[in-house]
Chain A
């Protein structure tokens, strides 16, 4: 979805390096998420944020940190990358519907990260 962008799209790095993945959205949504996708394991939630300054751990947050600098931006950092963090990373957003609930999530195009 062009309304959710991720940079970089591909990244190869070495063990021990610090890496930052960026996510921006123009949908005006307050909720943003970072997921990791490994083959056959679906999508695992790393961190999520319901608003600026709100940060919450997901199911696999160890080794990762995030920053919600503005409503439209949510970045994911790997403080010291390791090979088993090689995966496809997706950012997603969601916003209130007309009925006052949050429904579908909108995903960015993904970042393919390889840690050597």
Chain B
């Protein structure tokens, strides 16, 4: 079945350092979504990418969708303590509507 994998599972950074999490799908995706879950919180939608090679930015966050639409990345420039949390990517389950398959998440910890 469809698998969505994320690396790394954990990442410790010093405040001000950059951070990147990578997402890889076993199948081609029609789109990919990214969610953030703060410690003790629930997943909150960040963004959706649809086009091959698409790049979108939200302040210090840069999201990229691969040319083959099987991988994606989230890059945070100059991390802050407010960036702490787990970042999940999610792709449509077998490209069926918006049934989502979530990656295992990357937990980001930022040392002040």
> Is A79 interfacial (CB-CB < 8 Å)?
no
- List residues 23-66 of chain A with CB under 8 A from any CB of chain B: 31, 40-45, 48
Contact of B45 among A41, A45, A106 (CB under 8 A): A106
Contact of A107 among B44, B103, B105 (CB under 8 A): B44
Q: Which one of B90, B100, B103, B104 has the highest number of Cβ atoms from chain A below 10 Å of its Cβ?
A: B100
> Is B33 interfacial (CB-CB < 8 Å)?
yes
Q: Contacts A45-B99, A101-B98, A103-B48 known; A109 to B42 CB distance under 8 Å?
A: yes
The distance from the CB of A101 to the nearest CB of chain B, in whole angstroms, is: 7
Q: Which one of B43, B88, B93 has the highest number of Cβ atoms from chain A below 10 Å of its Cβ?
A: B43
Q: How many residues on A have C-beta within 8 angstroms of the other chain's C-beta atoms?
A: 21
Contact of A110 among B6, B42, B44, B88 (CB under 8 A): B42
Q: How many residues on B have C-beta within 8 angstroms of the other chain's C-beta atoms?
A: 20
Collect the chain A residues with CB atoms within 8 Å of residue B88's CB: 42-43
> Is B39 interfacial (CB-CB < 8 Å)?
no
Q: Is the beta-carbon distance between A41 and B104 smaller than 8 angstroms? A: yes
Mask of B77-110 contacts with A, CB within 8 angstroms, 1/0? 0000000000010100100011110111100000
Assembly CA distance A94 to B33 (angstroms): 13
Collect the chain A residues with CB atoms within 8 Å of residue B48's CB: 103-104
> Is B26 interfacial (CB-CB < 8 Å)?
no
Assembly CA distance A94 to B45 (angstroms): 11
Q: Contacts A1-B44, A43-B88, A107-B43 known; A31 to B98 CB distance under 8 Å?
A: yes
Q: Is the beta-carbon distance between B45 and A105 smaller than 8 angstroms? A: yes
Q: Which A residues form the contact surface with B (CB < 8 A)?
A: 1, 31, 40-45, 48, 90, 94, 101-110
Q: Which B residues form the contact surface with A (CB < 8 A)?
A: 6, 9, 33, 41-45, 48, 88, 90, 93, 97-100, 102-105
- Listed A/B pairs (27) with beta-carbon separation below 8 Å: A1-B42, A1-B44, A31-B98, A40-B9, A41-B104, A42-B6, A42-B88, A42-B102, A42-B103, A42-B105, A43-B88, A44-B102, A45-B93, A45-B100, A90-B42, A90-B43, A102-B97, A103-B98, A104-B33, A104-B48, A105-B45, A106-B45, A107-B42, A107-B43, A108-B42, A109-B41, A110-B42
